[in-house]
Structures are given as C-alpha cells and as structure tokens.
A and B are shown apart, each in its own frame.
Chain A
Amino acid sequence: MKEIYNLSEFKQGDFYLFSNKIVLNQTIRKKDFSECSIRQVNFSNCIFDRTSFPCTKCENLTFESCVFQNVSFKKSELENFIFQNCQLTCTDFGKSNLMDFGFINCKLNDIFFNAGELTDLKFDNSQLQDVWFSGSLLDNVKIKNSTLEKIRFDGAKAYKEVYINGVLTTNHIPIKDYASFLKEIS
C-alpha cells in the first residue's frame, strides 16, 4: 500500500530517495530535486511549476491529470513514465536518457527532448506543438492518433537494425526527411 505524501513542502535535503508514494492534488512550485532518486510514485492532479529534476534517476512514475510548466528533467535517467491526460508546457528532457515513456491523451507545447537517448517512447491521442528532438538518438519512438505542429528532428538520428551481407547490424541513421520519418513512426 502506497503512502500519500505532501510534496509541496519539500526542502532540499529532505530526502534523496522518494519511493512508493502517492502525491495528490498538490502544487509543487520552485523546487529543486537535484540528484534525487524517485521510484514508483503516482502523481495525480498535481501542478509542477518552475521545478527542476536535474541529474535524477526516476523509475516507474505515473502522472495523471497533471500540469507541467517550466519544468526541467535535464541530465537524468528516466524509465517507465506514463503521462495520462496531462498538459506539459515548456518542459525540458534535454541530455537525458528516456526509456519506456507513454504520453496518452496529453497536450505538449514547447517540449525539449534534445541531445538525449530516447527508447520506446509512445505518444498516443495527443497534441504535440513545438516539440524538439534535436540531436537525439531515437529508438522505437511512435506517434499515433495525434496532431502535430512544428516537430523538429534537426541532427537527430534513428536507431535501425539492418541486415548487411546477412549480418544483423545496428545503424544510427540521420533523420533528414521529417515527413517520411513521421509517416514511418505513426
């Protein structure tokens, strides 16, 4: 059974490992969670505002009906995140390794997935506007049933497995033609 926790009063150093909790109906504003490890936490109906999670290791997090504005997850290792019915504005996942992410029925605006490694990311039934994947390595990123506006892949590469002379080889292919890449991943 997960314990309900009040995160809005967090002060740096209160904890570095935050796990098995439920965070409900809270506004988390101007907090610095640098180098924290956050595991198996369900966030519901929360607002994250001007909050940073740099160099964190986060695993198995779910966000339901949450709002993110000016939030940074830079230089982090993030695994198994589910965002459902969330609104993300000005959020930075730059320089991070993201693995197994799902955005379901979300609105994303001004989101940066730059210079990172993105593995198994799925956007479903979402609205993506000004979403940047510049300089990242994408492996199995899927965008389905979603509306897209200003999606950028400058300098991004897609991970592909191809047979060369009968040998299975992994390649990083630069994404040049956005339209055909988007078609391929939808």
Chain B
Amino acid sequence: MDPARFAQLSIELTKVGPQQNIITEIEALTILQAEEQNLVGGISRPDMINSEKERKLNLDFKISSWNEHIFIGLQPTYVDIKSPLDPEVIRARNEPEQTLEDQVDNLLKTIYIQRQRATDNQETVIHIITLLRIKPSDRAYFMDNLKNKALKQNLDVTRILFLNTSIDRI
C-alpha cells in the first residue's frame, strides 16, 4: 500500500477544515484494500468544500471505475465504508452495550437511507463493510446476519461488499 495515497485519502477536506482521525484512517485503509483487490478504482474524497451536492450526499469516497464482474448491471459512483466493532471491545471501553445484531440493524438502516439519498440525486452508492475489527470467529455470523436481515428488508445485498472476512488475504 502506497503510504502517500493512504495519507492523502485519510484526510477529509471539509468546510470545517481538514479532518483526519481514526475513522477517516479506517476508511482510507479499507478503500485502498478494495482497490488492491480490483473492486473499485479512480478513488477520491468528495469535494465537500465547493460542491453542494457532495455535502448533501456526504459519502466517504467517489469512484470512477468498478469491477463489472462484481457489480453486475450497476454503475456505482460512490462508496461508503462501514466498520463494525467487536462487542467485547465496546464492553472493555466501558461503553454502552452494543451487540453485533444491534450493529447490523444500525448499518442496514443507514445503508437504506444513504441509498435513497443517492438515488434522489441520480447517483449510486455501494457499501463496503470491513470486518477487521470483529473477531475472525464472528465474521461469518455477522455476514449471515446482515444478509438475512437485508433480504427480509428487501435491500439489495449485491451492493454490499465485505472485506477482511476470514478468507480474505490481509
């Protein structure tokens, strides 16, 4: 991974100034992994300073190319990254309890809203969920749980990708 690109993508330029924090770094790491695995390309951070539309959408990355064998019939223009966290870490931090199931519910709710907003603006967003911060033994369960709930909610799961699953190369 190119450190210069990581540094560049981990900074979000916004009207309130450049933002770099753990979250933006996880986002950058994940999108570069996706690029390395030939899932997406032509990545940039949206122009939140000058573009009213980008601020309205408020998504993590813009892309100009994608793997047509994976995203069949889709023309994604944006990617948003999600990074669930191991409930034991949350507990160890003394934070309020949040199970994997709670996190799945929250993610699906957000994914639905973001897709709707993108559609309203004639754009298409795909979501990448990095499982790096979940125990390897819980990852398959997390994916199954999310897919099952998404299907029940009529949410197209082909627009959701998982990275750092137990079978990924890291």
**B-contacting residues of A (Cβ < 8 Å)?**
12, 15-17, 32, 34-37, 50, 52, 54-55, 57, 70-72, 74-75, 90-92, 94-95, 110, 112, 114-115, 117, 132, 134-135, 137, 152, 154-155
Q: Is the CB of B56 within 8 A of A50?
A: no
Q: Which residues of B contact A137 (CB under 8 A)?
A: 113
Among A12, A72, A117, which residue has its beta carbon within 8 angstroms of that of B16?
A72
Interface contact B94-A112, CB-CB below 8 Å: no
Q: How many residues of B contact A (CB 8 A)?
A: 24
Question: Which residues of the partner chain A approach B56 to less than 8 Å between Cβ atoms?
Answer: 114-115, 134-135, 154-155
Contact between chains at B96 and A92 (CB < 8 Å): no
Expressed in whole angstroms, the Cα–Cα distance for A54 and B24 within the complex equals 9
- Chain B residues with CB under 8 Å of chain A are 14-17, 19, 21-24, 52, 55-58, 85, 93-96, 113-114, 117, 120-121
Determine chain B's interface SS by DSSP, over half rule: mixed
CA distance A36 to B21 in the complex (A): 12
What B residues does A16 contact at CB under 8 A?
Answer: 93-95
Report whether A32 and B58 are in contact in the complex, using a CB–CB cutoff of 8 Å. Answer: no
B17:A94 contact, CB within 8 angstroms: no
- Can you report 25 residue pairs joining A to B where beta carbons are below 8 Å apart? A12-B22, A16-B95, A17-B94, A34-B21, A34-B22, A34-B23, A35-B22, A35-B85, A36-B95, A37-B94, A54-B24, A57-B95, A70-B16, A72-B14, A74-B19, A90-B15, A94-B14, A94-B55, A95-B58, A114-B58, A115-B55, A115-B58, A115-B114, A154-B52, A155-B121
